[in-house]
Amino acid sequence: MGVLYIFFIPSDPMLIKIIFKLIPMWLIIWFGVLQFPTNKSPIHWLLLSGLFCCMLGDGLLHWFIIGLSAFLIGHLFYTAGFLTRWTFSPIRFLTILPISLFAILIGNQLITGLIHEGNKLFILPVLLYIIIISLMAWAAIMTGNRWAAYGSLLFVLSDSILSWNMFIHPISFSGPLIMITYYSAQFLIARSLQTI
């Protein structure tokens, strides 16, 4: 269904495009439910809530701030869930350095792009989003769960491509790159529900 949406569904009518965009997420959420262990804990419901909020963000991204807000709430659910499985490791802890460096570099570029395009109202929401998704990725890594870690890093990559393409400079094949990394990220986070 993801391939069908990315490569075959036309942009118009928009409602049909949005419906087909959401179908893979419905399936991923259902897959996530099937991964629930017999003994469920709060993390399973938190991650499922994150998946659901991100699906809403997906459908509402046409209205940028509304969609961004839904994604932000989704990342807060993810972060809260991952923090319940915090497992300290010095090596994993130090991953905060490259994550922070990447966030600072892309944040600087985005601010410059937003100012240049006269979109100063977006600066605060975008910076808040960068901080939260960076914390989410770090929290996922700190769980020691490879599915959660890979999924969160793919999410950062997907949103980085999207924001760079939207505010800094067009990227060739940005649409497929964004959605392939995004669906993969969500699938891996849903997959983590079995082992986290």
pLDDT at 7: 92
How many whole angstroms separate alpha carbon 129 and alpha carbon 57? Answer: 13
Q: Report how many domains make up the chain.
A: 1
Residue 119 has pLDDT above 90, yes or no: no
Query: Which strand (E) or helix (H) includes residue 63?
Result: none
pLDDT more than 90, % of the chain: 84
Contact 95, 141 (CB under 8 A): yes
Q: Is 19 left (phi over 0), alpha (psi -120 to 50) or beta?
A: alpha
Residue 140 pLDDT grade (very low, low, confident, very high; cuts 50, 70, 90): very high
* CA angle in degrees (0–180, nearest 5) for 31-128-54: 15
In single-letter form, the type of residue at position 13 comes to: P
Which residues form the domain of 163?
2-192
- CA dist 186 and 113 (Å) reads 28
Structure tokens at 101: 């460096």
pLDDT of residue 65: 86
* Cα–Cα distance measured from residue 10 to residue 193, given in angstroms and rounded to the nearest whole number: 33
